[in-house]
């Protein structure tokens, strides 16, 4: 397989394979190798998917008739709902840029003035009565963006630059007219943030030797952001873009370059994932600029209301393959941010700010300083947040913020099945974490050599379906050290694996089954929206699951219903709402990524798109 045909995870595993064995150090070999078979299957059925004692919830009911799984190349919704496209990759944000051209698929110059590709996390902000949408443009699919080239590869430097400029974040004003949403071209708030946009480095790693480069010897100003996956928003009106697979853009002009252990843990390689950025920008050459990768892998804070503002890289929130950043305010007014690291056997994290949030006060730098914790789960429903400190890691504060994965390994955090989004219930002190899947669970250690035995929140070996784990902080306070956890849903295929843990928990059935939960967000009514990024083959273990989809869960009863099915070969990612909550915006990422089977949304080149969903009766969408 070519590198570009591999998923990010499989690419990283090929180039930085995990060790084949681990030091079992306190881990029972029998348990590690025994997998789920070591546990009675009966123990799973009936005991999972049942919520802990209910907390106060408003009406969380699901009031639509669920849609069937399917493989149509369109959006399928329940009766009573309709959709249209708000914007697609390459749509111009300014009137001086041309409409998207199916034949050329754009140039670097047109891409710089247009919506980026592969929209992922997003949020709507209200500013002076205007609605501003901020959206991540995570990455590109070579076969699509360069599909006009005979071999589907970038041919010219301009092609490479076009691909680069399709990354980053897009901010633009939106407006609704006669029921349809559209981009307000030329709004003074429209902005493209790209891999070249200057950013302030903030927090403990600012100025540290690990971040110094020839172009920035002070280590205070980095260029750009890329591979922004999930997002977050703060109560003070800023947008958080989370850098995920940042490693896949670096390569080495010297094939004999010796990578450090830290580079290997983060998957920084001699070869890139097929983007070719080194060809046009030498800072992506690790043999010449070995500290450049240390300047990516952070959460970036952006003020969407000020298009001239400099985005801030928040090193205090750690460096890893960030999924999203879910912000809650704890009882003591400290800002708590839940953070997942999406790679097999990596960890779940929490940041707690040093300063306190004050409504209407100056909160601009609350994310610059705080304590960083990694989660340790026990097998019986309890867990604790372990602060990573110089004392228990042997690393400085700055080093903890740059090589966070190594620090979390040192404190014995629990290896997880690829933590994706974390979602906080606005009506109850609880957060939900999507653990998307982990084919290596029970077979191999993670990349750092930490064992990956089956364990409480990751209970199945060779986990191909994923699960959603719920955490409840002690005494309802998100800043507390201890938490309780339970399994909200174990995804599975009850038609193929009836009676086995791979059939899923009690709230999974033939009518709502799915695999690989990823995007998750609560609506204002306390209902949990779940989006999938899974296997859409509709065969074998995945028979009957169809295309990727979005489901709605009632956290009180545990009931899950399928609300939407996406077009072919897409991932459903990103969800937010208009200010009046009557429109839900949903991300359709990389339709047709496998090549050829999708023409979503317009019958031509398949294009990642943001869609708007409303009720026929004009009611609230969440
Ligand atoms: Fe970009 Fe973990 O998904
Ligand atoms: Ca994701
Ligand atoms: Ca995913
Ligand atoms: Ca994705």
DSSP string over 140-169: --HHHHTTTSTTSS--SHHHHHHHHHTSEE
- Closest approach atom of ligand 1 to CA 138: 1
* pLDDT of 13: 82
- Closest approach atom of ligand 1 to CA 230: 1
Strands (E), 399-553: 419-424, 431-435, 467-473, 482-490, 517-522, 528-532, 549-553
* Torsional sign, CA 140, 141, 147, 153: positive
* pLDDT of 277: 98
- Closest approach atom of ligand 1 to CA 418: 2
For residue 217, the CA-to-ligand 1 centroid distance in Å is 32
Residues 349-381 as b/e (b if ≥16 CB within 10 A, e otherwise) read bbbbbebebeeeeebeebbbbbbbbbbbbeeee
- Closest approach atom of ligand 1 to CA 340: 2
- Closest approach atom of ligand 1 to CA 245: 1
Q: Kindly identify the ligand whose nearest atom is closest to the C-alpha of 535.
A: 3
Q: Which residues contact 437 (CB under 8 A, 6 or more apart)?
A: 417, 418, 463, 464, 465, 466, 515, 516, 534
Backbone dihedral region for residue 152 (phi beyond 0: left; psi -120 to 50: alpha; all else: beta) = left
For residue 230, the CA-to-ligand 3 centroid distance in Å is 10
Residues in the chain where the model's pLDDT stays below 50: 1, 22-59
Look up residue 574 and give its two tokens: 């990103």
* pLDDT of 20: 64
For residue 357, the CA-to-ligand 4 centroid distance in Å is 32
- Closest approach atom of ligand 1 to CA 533: 3
**Among 164, 135, 404, 402, which residue's Cα sits nearest to residue 276?**
164
Q: Kindly identify the ligand whose nearest atom is closest to the C-alpha of 346.
A: 1
Alpha-carbon gap, residue 52 to 11, rounded angstroms: 39
- Closest approach atom of ligand 1 to CA 342: 2
Alpha-carbon gap, residue 524 to 465, rounded angstroms: 28
Q: Kindly identify the ligand whose nearest atom is closest to the C-alpha of 466.
A: 3
Q: What is the CATH number of the domain that holds 346?
A: 2.120.10.30
Residues with CB under 6 A from ligand 1: 138, 229, 244, 323, 342, 420, 518
- Closest approach atom of ligand 1 to CA 8: 1
For residue 517, the CA-to-ligand 3 centroid distance in Å is 8
- Closest approach atom of ligand 1 to CA 139: 1
Q: Examine residue 328 and state whether it is found in any structural domain, yes or no.
A: yes
For residue 50, the CA-to-ligand 4 centroid distance in Å is 30
Q: Examine residue 309 and state whether it is found in any structural domain, yes or no.
A: yes
For residue 78, the CA-to-ligand 4 centroid distance in Å is 25
For residue 43, the CA-to-ligand 1 centroid distance in Å is 31
Q: Kindly identify the ligand whose nearest atom is closest to the C-alpha of 520.
A: 2
**DSSP reduced 3-state for 565:** strand
* Per-residue pLDDT tens over the stretch 88-120: 999 999 999 999 999 999 999 999 999 999 999
Domain that includes residue 211, residue range: 3-615
Q: Kindly identify the ligand whose nearest atom is closest to the C-alpha of 343.
A: 1
* pLDDT of 498: 95
Q: Examine residue 109 and state whether it is found in any structural domain, yes or no.
A: yes
Q: Kindly identify the ligand whose nearest atom is closest to the C-alpha of 575.
A: 2
| Pairing of the two strands 312-314 and 198-202 | parallel
For residue 230, the CA-to-ligand 2 centroid distance in Å is 6
Q: Examine residue 622 and state whether it is found in any structural domain, yes or no.
A: no
* pLDDT of 438: 98
- Closest approach atom of ligand 1 to CA 244: 1
Alpha-carbon gap, residue 276 to 237, rounded angstroms: 36
For residue 509, the CA-to-ligand 2 centroid distance in Å is 24
The count of structural domains within the chain is 1
Q: Kindly identify the ligand whose nearest atom is closest to the C-alpha of 342.
A: 1
For residue 432, the CA-to-ligand 3 centroid distance in Å is 16
Q: Vertex 609, ends 603 and 612: CA angle to 5°? A: 105
Under 8 Å between Cβ of 505 and 523: no
Going by alpha carbons, the residue nearest to atom 1 of ligand 1 is 229
Which helix or strand (DSSP H or E) is residue 15 part of?
A: helix 8-15
For residue 566, the CA-to-ligand 2 centroid distance in Å is 15
For residue 78, the CA-to-ligand 1 centroid distance in Å is 27
Q: Vertex 253, ends 250 and 255: CA angle to 5°? A: 100
**DSSP reduced 3-state for 125:** strand
Alpha-carbon gap, residue 399 to 148, rounded angstroms: 44
Q: Kindly identify the ligand whose nearest atom is closest to the C-alpha of 419.
A: 1
For residue 175, the CA-to-ligand 1 centroid distance in Å is 29
Look up residue 619 and give its two tokens: 């009611």
Q: Examine residue 621 and state whether it is found in any structural domain, yes or no.
A: no
Q: Vertex 328, ends 327 and 329: CA angle to 5°? A: 130
- Closest approach atom of ligand 1 to CA 420: 2
Task: Give the count of beta carbons closer than 10 Å to the beta carbon of residue 30.
Answer: 9
- Closest approach atom of ligand 1 to CA 227: 1
For residue 561, the CA-to-ligand 1 centroid distance in Å is 23
* pLDDT of 16: 80
Alpha-carbon gap, residue 246 to 138, rounded angstroms: 10
**Among 224, 227, 451, which residue's Cα sits nearest to residue 322?**
227
Instruction: From residue 386, give the alpha-carbon distance in Å to each of 351, 407, 410.
Output: 11, 11, 11
* pLDDT of 164: 98
Q: Which residues contact 296 (CB under 8 A, 6 or more apart)?
A: 222, 225, 226, 243, 246
Q: Examine residue 73 and state whether it is found in any structural domain, yes or no.
A: yes
For residue 323, the CA-to-ligand 3 centroid distance in Å is 9
């Amino acid at each position: 397989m070519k590198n570009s045909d591999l998923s990010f995870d499989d690419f990283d595993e090929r180039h930085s394979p995990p060790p084949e064995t681990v030091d079992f150090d306190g881990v029972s070999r029998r348990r590690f190798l025994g997998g789920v078979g070591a546990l009675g299957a009966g123990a799973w059925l009936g005991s999972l998917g049942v919520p802990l004692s209910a907390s106060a919830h408003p009406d969380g009911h699901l009031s639509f008739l669920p849609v069937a799984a399917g493989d149509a190349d369109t959006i399928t919704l329940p009766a009573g709902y309709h959709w249209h496209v708000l914007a697609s990759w390459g749509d111009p944000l300014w009137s001086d840029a041309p409409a998207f051209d199916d034949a050329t698929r754009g140039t670097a110059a047109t891409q710089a003035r247009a919506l980026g590709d592969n929209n992922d996390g997003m949020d709507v902000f209200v500013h002076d009565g205007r609605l501003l949408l901020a959206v991540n443009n995570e990455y590109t699919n070579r076969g699509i963006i360069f599909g006009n080239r005979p071999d589907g590869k970038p041919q010219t430097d301009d092609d490479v630059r076009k691909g680069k400029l399709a990354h980053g974040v897009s901010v633009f004003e939106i407006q609704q007219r006669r029921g349809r949403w559209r981009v307000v071209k030329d709004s003074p708030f429209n902005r493209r943030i790209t891999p070249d946009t200057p950013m302030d480095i903030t927090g403990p790693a600012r100025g540290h030797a690990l971040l110094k480069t020839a172009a920035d010897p002070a280590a205070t100003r980095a260029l750009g952001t890329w591979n922004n996956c999930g997002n977050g928003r703060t109560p003070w009106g800023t947008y958080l873009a989370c850098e995920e697979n940042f490693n896949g853009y670096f390569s080495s002009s010297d094939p004999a370059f010796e990578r450090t252990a830290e580079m290997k843990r983060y998957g920084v390689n001699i070869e890139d994932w097929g983007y070719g950025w080194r060809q046009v920008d030498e800072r992506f050459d690790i043999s010449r600029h070995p500290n450049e990768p240390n300047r990516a892998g952070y959460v970036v804070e952006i003020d969407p209301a000020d298009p001239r503002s400099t985005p801030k890289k928040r090193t205090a929130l750690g460096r890893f393959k960030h999924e999203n950043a879910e912000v809650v305010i704890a009882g003591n007014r400290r800002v708590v941010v839940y953070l997942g690291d999406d790679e097999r056997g990596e960890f779940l994290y929490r940041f707690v700010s040093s300063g306190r949030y004050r409504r209407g006060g100056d909160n601009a730098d609350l994310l610059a300083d705080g304590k960083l914790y990694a989660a340790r789960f026990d097998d019986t429903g309890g867990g604790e947040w372990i602060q990573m400190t110089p004392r228990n890691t042997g690393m400085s504060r700055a080093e903890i913020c740059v090589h966070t994965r190594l620090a979390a390994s040192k404190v014995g955090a629990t290896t997880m099945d690829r933590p994706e989004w974390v979602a906080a219930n606005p009506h109850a002190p609880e957060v939900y974490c999507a653990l998307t899947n982990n084919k290596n669970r029970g077979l191999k250690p993670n990349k750092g050599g930490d064992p990956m035995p089956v364990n409480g929140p990751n209970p199945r070996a060779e986990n191909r379906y994923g699960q959603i784990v719920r955490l409840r902080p002690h005494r309802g306070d998100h800043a507390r050290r201890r938490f309780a956890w339970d399994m909200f849903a174990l995804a599975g295929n009850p038609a193929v694996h009836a009676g086995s843990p791979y059939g899923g928990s009690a709230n999974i059935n033939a009518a709502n089954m799915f695999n690989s939960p990823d995007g998750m967000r609560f609506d204002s009514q306390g209902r949990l929206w779940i989006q999938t990024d899974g296997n859409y083959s509709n065969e074998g273990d995945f028979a009957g699951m169809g295309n990727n989809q979005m489901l709605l869960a009632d956290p009180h009863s545990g009931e899950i219903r399928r609300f939407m099915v996406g077009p072919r070969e897409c991932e459903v990612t990103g969800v937010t709402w208009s200010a009046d909550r009557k429109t839900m915006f949903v991300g359709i990422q990389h339709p047709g990524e496998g090549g050829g089977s999708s023409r979503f949304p317009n019958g031509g080149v398949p294009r990642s798109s943001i869609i708007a969903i409303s009720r026929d009766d004009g009611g609230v969408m969440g």
